[in-house]
Structure 1
Amino acid sequence: MAIGTSPVMQQYAKVKSEYPDALVMMRMGDFYEMLGDDAVRASEILQITLTRRRTAKEGDEGVPMCGVPYHAAEGYIGKLIAHGERVALAEQVETPEEAKKARGSSAIVRREVVRLFTPGTLTDEAYLAGNLAKYLVTVTSAKDGREGAVAWMDMSTGDVGVRLVTQANALAVLAALPVGELVVGEDVDIAWVTGIPRRLVSVQSGLFARSTAETAIKRAYGLGDLAGLGLPSDSCACALGALIGYAELTQVGKLPTLRMPNVVSGRTRMSIDPSTRKNLELTESLGGRRADSLLGILDRCMTGAGARLLARWVAEPLVDVSEIVRRQDAVAALGHAATREQVRDLLKQTGDIARCVSRLLLGRGGPRDLGTLRGTGDVLPALRKALGHCDGLLKVQADGMGGLEDLTALLDRALAEEPLPALIRDGGFIAGGYDSELDSYRVLVTDGNALLQALEEREATASGIPLKLRYNQVWGYYLEITKQHESKVPGHWLHRQTTTNSHRYSTAELMSLERELGSAGAKAQKREEDLLAALVDAVRKASYPLLSASEALATLDVLASMAEVAARHNWVRPLVEDSTAFAIEGGCHPVVASKVAEFVPNGCDLSGGQMWLLTGPNMAGKSTFLRQNAL
């Protein structure tokens, strides 16, 4: 649909040509407007009124248009994304005055896309659930179609991974990931991505070129070559590079700090086909409920990051016996009730620091994100002390929480007491006494009347003249005296106005104070913004220790959750060995047993190649028995 010929409509058409697969929301004063086909589509999803914008053509009925208030755009964008749409947000990047000065009186303000919202690249708190991850995923395949790679990224935490796959196991690998959005090249066989909703699939062929992908990886990690990443094939490099390139595209050149990619081997994780995964109800029940799944039973995590990591562990179980035993040892070490409760109480006081770091480094964070980093940093010494007697996997987590002492001390000095404001423009988030310049502005804002009164008293005492300090919109602040005291006026007073019964004067000090009072609020806000930018820069420099601490906290939370669940249900530690032995005594289905008043346990021994033939009437529990042993 043609947009129109007016300057604004042509501006919209230009942005639309650059983002043809997205709905373009362009800032027009106090609204974000959509035109043409975008307006028709958005009005249907958002259930808002579709109107028309007049074009330059005489008698033209106009172009379809709809709009949403800029201050409420967040909710509307969230609804569009939930429907699988991509949204290009075009902001005004100059004022009308700047536009006219640069390009003449008829110039319109420049508008540029500052962000592309897509289902897999969200970092805003409003669009994310604390216990759920949504990954941006790329899939690529070699020319022979037999080998390929899957790469994934959680934009909200900087978590990155890549895995070599074949067509035989690609669907199983994808089924284990919480896919928010899948990006593929034009040459990928559709069979590789069957089962992913089409609305979540984006085709971006140019990003998968080997040279383009390699450049993106080097840029993101500051590398001279890819040798140190341990990527097993060109397919992995192309998938990882396309992943980073697409993320940069949506963030208009920005990226949060990315963790070094986790190169996953098929020999360490179990591949579970989508049908088996669904029927075992690993992460959600057949009815789509998390609470009625294995994950729902196991999740007693105290943090969102822990809940998200547990979901990954359940979705991709370990097959390496030594790693399984390490986890079992850590859970056993947390079996002591006092230690476990202390650890869990401390974990409850921590925040989702990886997501805070991501928002801050993308320019979307605020004072409360810094407050979360401060609060978590204050808890880390106590957590490390609680784990001081531990070894193995728990010691690894304790060591991963170090290196943040300087940043925490800085935030303790710089930030005001809780509660901190949600928005930067609200101000008041920098502590008094941290910055002398900011303190001076705040004194002017809060004590302005007292300063004026003090000046009035000084001038009255020094001159011996009864006077009043007054204000009007024409002259501002002035000293007013009656005519009978005109002869006593000091030489530094400046005459401003004569009225019927009085004279009005100013002084250099009064005029200076008036200017300072008039600009103090704006200067205080600007100074706080500068100080926040400096704190964000400190966060950027400490981003790797922060991400390490985030991973350690999440891992500790999962291990403590497992220990808590085992204690509540009186579960025992199984002996896991590298053999085909399979012997269970008194086994229960964890979900079903939690839902019924009395569950009858059953044993199962398939060791030595035994085969069991299971029979029984309908609803006797055959399927439950099969599933509990599979779990």
Structure 2
Amino acid sequence: VKEIIVEKKYLREFERNSGLKVPVKTYEDWVFGEDFAKKILNQHFGTLSLKGLGIEDNTAGLIAAGAIMNYLNETKHTQIDHIYRLYSIDKSEFIRMDNFTVENLELVNSSNEKATTLLQVLDKTQTNMGRRLMQRYILLPLLDKDKIERRQDIVQSFFDNRELSDSVSSILSGIGDVERVISKLAFRRIQPSELFNFKDVLKSIRQLKDTLLEYGSDILKEEALGLDCCEGMLALLDRFIAEDAPNNVIKGNYIASGVDSQLDYYREISTNGKNYINKTVDELIEKTNISSLKLGYNNVFGYYLEVTNTHKDKVPESWIRKQTLANAERYITEELKEIEDKILSSQEEIRQLESAIYDSLLNDLLKFTEPLQNNARIISRLDCLNSFACVAREYGYVRPTVDNSRDIDIVAGRHPVIERTLGAGEEYISNDLYLDCDKEQLRILTGPNMSGKSAYLRQNALIVLLAQTGSFVPARKARIGIVDRIFTRIGSSDNISRGESTFMVEMNEASRILNNLSERSLILFDELGRGTSTFDGVSLAWAICSYIHSSETKAKTLFATHYYELTGLENVYRRIKNYHVSVKEINGDIVFLRKVTEGGCTKSFGINVAVLAGIPKTVIQEAKRILNLLEGGCSIGELAEYSKGNPDRKKEEKRNKCLQLSFEGFSDSGLLQLKQYILQLDIETIRPIDALMKLDELKKMAEKL
């Protein structure tokens, strides 16, 4: 984005919320009025109504287009005839992803300058047009099964025919940016050398068409038939543009010889002017028989003829004497002056003639705008989909099955970006995923930090997204039921400028997700609730999982968490399943296996991760001691007493009692009361938050025993 147009009264709000650091142009509110937009657009398209363009009902789009057209007029962009249509991007045709999701998945940009994006992994395009279209494909994955499969068929054709794919890549590398040429042509900012080079582009388009028609599959031949070789345009360029055309019209000599006789005449004078004058002098010597006649030049009266006194009686009366010397006289003639004037003015004449011819040529070339734009669309599509095929061959991707079910079944899936950034000899550990709306709607994923939970979440979202762009996917096998929305709540951040803490940002994003669920949504929650206390975090995470499970949408969800208390959800809700990222503990050290396995994780391994991070040993030892106390049943209050110093014998005994979890010494009446309290609890109907409160009461009762 290079510049943004904003209604003046919304400028502060825009600057506060957008986060974009680009120039902003403001206009008064009338520029953003519907009536003004219709008026300025009808003027441009020469219509009385916008109904024929199919955009009349898109009020917001009309207003935006009108504001842009007003900006173009105001900034004196008068040559905009290449803008010959408007069309709406129907959001119902694409997966809905908000800015948070696009940023979290690092699709086309990353907040980390050193990070690799999905676009960078997939981009093996040969043209800037293809690169731009690939970015669009990634940001706007399709929802229509037939359109997805058409893209897949083209990718498959290139994938199966390596020789054709390589040939197409080679041809495309010589085509360049047709869209940019069209734009420069429309604004009359295109230079002669660019037009000369564009002849090669047109020849490459012809070569591409011939290659696809001869060697391509049926669907590639269908694409090729849409290409227009623009033979008329090529003929114009061959005729009018000089072979050594300069990169700027100011340098001149860009119109080919033979185009205009007058231009050729002035070029002859400009190039061979002195020879032409010498030839004229020779003719005068022969005509007048003045053998001593010489040609001279000075700044006072330009070119002159010098005649010695011996021959001055032979000077014709038509010659005009300008200077008398001791032994000679100097003359000028009308013919000589005319030639001189032509020589001196020839460059200006050449400039004017070339400019007029060039301007007329551009008008003729603009007639090819529509077929060129159509060519650009086809070429960018072929470039993008051929790039998908190249990536699939090189990285071992497979063609996914895309259907209208609500299932996601991925076998041995891999993260497309991370696997490309691994060091030599490292292998990415693949993992499966199965989600549906009947048996396994919500997957709780537990495991220690750094184990790969976040990568697993992103990996599956990216595979779904890739499948719906028409690309092959990094997996052994994949079947994707079309997803219409992808939501993510990944990472921790705050927005201090808007007075929002990390936890507030978390809750805002969670609220946005829960209020926009659909039957085909895919939701990724990563460590939700860590911005607040443990009790609050667990309560909210539990309640959110419960809400999603109970929702009529049955939205498919991956919920990664370090709250292993949430594994209890599997016992309450039938479509919630526990999985964990495997970790192997060897002599107190942990090895991350990166394998997602069925079942919950009952240990966080937080201290082990702290060791890997280089936390001082004294801190690690104290953390282990405190962990033992807490796992032994000690309360926070008791823990505070032990932390003051060495406990006395009585406190030591109490600590041991905590660690042993012994019920010796408990009164029978106390145990009976505790038993009755537990039996009265209705596990089937109790809300998660109430369950935690009851658990807290049970703990207090146990402390009194």
Normalising by structure 2, we get a TM-score of: 0.60
Counterpart position of 2:86: 261
Contact 1:361–1:540 (CA under 8 A) maintained in structure 2: yes
Matched, 1:526 2:349: no
Other-structure match for 1:388 = 213
Alpha-carbon distance between aligned partners in 1 of 2:392 and 2:333, rounded to the nearest angstrom = 78
Moved more, 195-204 or 568-577: 195-204
* Structure 2 equivalent of residue 414 of structure 1: 240
Q: 1:319 aligns with which of 143, 162, 175?
A: 143
Given candidates 307, 314, 327, the residue that maps to 1:488 is 314
Q: Confirm or deny that 1:181 pairs with 2:7.
A: no
2:120 partner letter: G
Distance 1:191 1:526 in 2: 49
Of stretches 365-374 and 292-301 in structure 1, the one that deviates more from structure 2 is 365-374
Correspondence 1:150-161 to 2 at 5 A: none
Task: Map 1:128-139 to 2 at 5 A.
Answer: 134=1
Contact 1:587 1:628 in 2 (8 A): yes
**Which residue identity is paired with 1:576?**
V
The aligned counterpart of 2:333 is 507
Cα-to-partner distance string for 1:145-198 (whole Å, 9 max, x where unaligned): xxxxxxxxxxxxxxxxxxxxxxxxxxxxxxxxxxx4243474799589933537
Matched, 1:443 2:268: yes
- Once the two structures are TM-superposed, the CA of residue 312 in structure 1 deviates from its matched residue by 1.1
Aligned-pair CA distance for 1:624: 0.9
What does 1:155-174 correspond to in 2, within 5 Å? none
Q: Distance in 1 between matches of 2:41 and 2:219?
A: 30
Residue 199 of structure 1 deviates from its aligned partner by 5.5
Identify if the C-alpha distance between structure 1 residues 273 and 234 changes in structure 2 by more than 3 Å, giving closer, same or farther. Answer: closer
Is 2:47 aligned against 1:223? Answer: yes
1:247 aligns with 72
More helix by share: 2
One of 600, 617, 629 as aligned partner of 2:429: 600
Question: Which residue of the partner structure matches residue 301 of structure 1?
Answer: 125
Matched, 1:577 2:577: no
* Partner-residue secondary structure (3-state), 2:410: strand
CA distance in structure 2 between the aligned counterparts of 1:392 and 1:263, rounded to whole angstroms: 30
1:497–1:504 Cα contact (<8 Å) kept: yes
Further displaced range: 368-377 or 257-266: 368-377
- Kept after mapping to 1: 8 A contact 2:158/2:164: yes
SS in 2 for 1:194: helix
Letter in 2 for 1:613: I
Query: After superposition, what is the alpha-carbon deviation per residue over 1:24-71, rounded to whole angstroms, capped at 9, x for unaligned?
Result: xxxxxxxxxxxxxxxxxxxxxxxxxxxxxxxxxxxxxxxxxxxxxxxx
Cα distance in 2 between the residues matched to 1:256 and 1:183: 25
1:95-150 CA-to-partner distances (Å, cap 9, x unmatched) read xxxxxxxxxxxxxxxxxxxxxxxxxxxxxxxxxxxxxxx37xxxxxxxxxxxxxxx
Q: Report the CA distance shift for 1:256/1:422 in structure 2 as closer, same or farther (over 3 A).
A: farther
Asked if the contact 2:79/2:188 (under 8 Å) is kept, the reply is: no
For 1:235 and 1:182, locate their aligned partners in 2 and report how far apart those are by CA, in whole Å: 14
In 1, the alpha carbon distance for the partners of 2:267 and 2:15 equals: 61
- For residues 221 and 4 of structure 2, the distance between their equivalents in structure 1, rounded to whole angstroms, comes to 36
Q: Which has the higher contact order (CA 8 A, sep 6+)?
A: 2
Partner of 1:564 in structure 2? 390
Q: 1:292 corresponds to which residue?
A: 116
Alignment partner, residue 102 of structure 1: none
2:362 pairs, out of 528, 531, 536, with 536
SS of 2:297 mapped into structure 1 = strand
The aligned residue for residue 648 of structure 2 is none
- Contact 2:203/2:229, CA 8 A, preserved across alignment: no
Report the CA distance shift for 1:292/1:268 in structure 2 as closer, same or farther (over 3 A): same
Query: Which one-letter code corresponds to 1:194 in the other structure?
Result: N
Q: Which amino acid aligns with 1:224?
A: L
RMSD, matched Cα: 2.5
The residue type paired with residue 229 of structure 1 is: L
Task: Give distance in 2, aligned partners of 1:191 and 1:522.
Answer: 52
User: Which residue number in structure 2 is paired with residue 457 of structure 1?
Assistant: 282
Tell me the alpha carbon deviations over residues 470-502 of structure 1, each in whole angstroms, 9 at most, x when there is no partner: 111112111112111122234554433322111
Sort the Cα spacing of 1:504 and 1:332 in 2 relative to 1 into closer, same or farther, 3 A.
Answer: same
Q: State whether structure 2 residue 446 is matched by structure 1 residue 615.
A: yes
Cα distance between partner residues in 1 of 2:219 and 2:44: 30
Report if aligned partners of 1:270, 1:317 keep a CA contact under 8 Å in 2. Answer: yes
- Residue number in structure 2 paired with 1:349: 174
Match of 1:398 among 193, 209, 224: 224
Q: Equivalent residues in 2 for 1:355-394 (5 A)?
A: 355-389=180-214, 390=216, 394=220
User: What amino acid does structure 2 have at the position aligned with 1:234?
Assistant: T
Per-residue Cα deviation, 1:315-362 (whole angstroms, up to 9, x for no partner): 111111111111111111122111111111111111322222222322
TM-score using structure 1 length = 0.67
Q: Is the 8 A contact 2:209 2:224 kept in 1?
A: yes
Shift of 1:366: 2.1
C-alpha change, 1:599 and 1:623, in structure 2 (3 Å) is same
Distance across 1 between alignment mates of 2:382 and 2:176 = 14
The CA distance in 2 between the partners of 1:315 and 1:372, in whole Å, is 33
Distance 1:491 1:189 in 2: 84
In structure 2, C-alpha distance between the alignment counterparts of 1:505 and 1:555, rounded to whole Å: 72
Secondary structure class of the residue paired with 1:387: helix
Measured after TM superposition, the shift of residue 235 of structure 1 is: 3.3
Q: Decide whether aligned partners of structure 1 residues 373 and 287 sit closer, same or farther in structure 2, where only a CA change above 3 A counts.
A: same
Residue 417 of structure 2 aligns to a residue whose secondary structure is helix
Which amino acid in the other structure matches residue 444 of structure 2?
L
Provide the C-alpha distance between the structure 2 equivalents of 1:393 and 1:187, rounded to a whole number of angstroms.
48
Distance 1:496 1:189, change over 3 A: closer
Whole-angstrom CA distance in 2 between matches of 1:495 and 1:201 = 69
Is contact 1:397-1:553 (8 Å) kept? no
1:423 maps onto 2:252 in alignment: no
Residues 11 and 26, structure 2, Cα contact 8 Å, conserved in 1? no
- Verify the 8 A CA contact 1:367 1:424 in the aligned structure 2: yes
1:195 corresponds to 2:28: no
In 2, the alpha carbon distance for the partners of 1:399 and 1:217 equals 33
Structure 1 unaligned spans of 5+: 1-133, 136-179
Distance 1:622 1:443 in 2: 77
Native 8 Å contact 2:5 2:68 kept in 1 = no
Q: Quick one: structure 1 residues 338 and 554, their matched pair in 2 at CA, closer, same or farther if it must change by over 3 Å?
A: same
- Residues 616 and 259 (structure 1), Cα distance of their counterparts in 2 relative to 1, 3 Å cut: farther
State the alpha-carbon separation in 2 of the partners of residues 538 and 458 from structure 1: 45
Segments of 5+ residues of structure 2 without an aligned counterpart are 463-705
- Aligned mates of 2:310, 2:147 — CA distance in 1: 96
Whole-Å separation in 1 of the counterparts to 2:232 and 2:439 = 59
Identity %: 32
Q: Equivalent residue of 1:428, what SS?
A: coil
8 A contact 1:213–1:241 mirrored in 2: yes
Q: State how far apart, in whole Å, the 2-side matches of 1:536 and 1:425 are.
A: 16
The Cα shift of 1:539 comes to 2.5
SS at match of 1:317: coil
Deviates more, 1:301-310 or 1:614-623: 614-623
Q: Please tell me whether residue 472 in structure 1 is matched to residue 331 in structure 2.
A: no
8 Å CA contact 2:192–2:246 kept in 1: the answer is: yes
Distance 1:584 1:481, change over 3 A: same
Deviations 1:238-281 (A, max 9, x none): 23222322232233555352152231212211110111111110
